[in-house]
């Protein structure tokens, strides 16, 4: 499975519903798992992003589908980074020319 780091920012709508966010997050995790996404963890953060998630997914298309569903709900904007595991990074480095 491929790893991803997802950065979330609350929208104005999301901030108006902040008390509902823990339940939205629980439901979001369940919806992600239905698509084959393993949620490693979700953290509320301080700084330029309000939350981050670390997930493993079968492929980019599955992650894109889930994040578009999330965006359509209007509570968050997201930025996503593909994350290479230690093993994947080693495989990439081993392919570098000498």
Instruction: Quote the tokens at residue 25.
Output: 């997050």
pLDDT of 7-19, one tens digit each? Answer: 999 999 999 999 9
CA distance 84 to 25: 25
pLDDT of 36-87, one tens digit each? Answer: 999 999 999 999 999 999 999 999 999 999 999 999 999 999 999 999 999 9
CA atoms within 13 A on the CB side of 90: 3
CATH of the domain at 83: 3.30.70.920
CA distance 6 to 93: 25
Q: Are 85 and 6 in contact (CB under 8 A)?
A: no
Reference 52, options 63, 65, 39, 71; nearest CA is 39
Domain coverage including residue 26? 2-94
Instruction: Quote the tokens at residue 49.
Output: 């992003």
pTM for this one? 0.90
Domains identified in the chain, total number: 1
């Amino acid at each position: 499975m491929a790893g991803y780091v997802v950065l979330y920012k609350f929208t104005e709508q999301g901030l108006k519903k902040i008390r509902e966010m823990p339940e939205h997050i629980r439901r979001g995790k369940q919806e992600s798992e239905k698509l084959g996404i393993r949620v490693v963890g979700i953290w509320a953060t301080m700084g330029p992003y309000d939350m981050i998630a670390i997930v493993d997914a079968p492929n980019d298309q599955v992650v894109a589908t889930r994040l578009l569903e999330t965006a359509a709900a209007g509570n968050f904007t997201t930025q996503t980074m593909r994350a290479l595991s230690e093993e994947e990074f080693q495989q990439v480095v081993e392919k570098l020319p000498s």
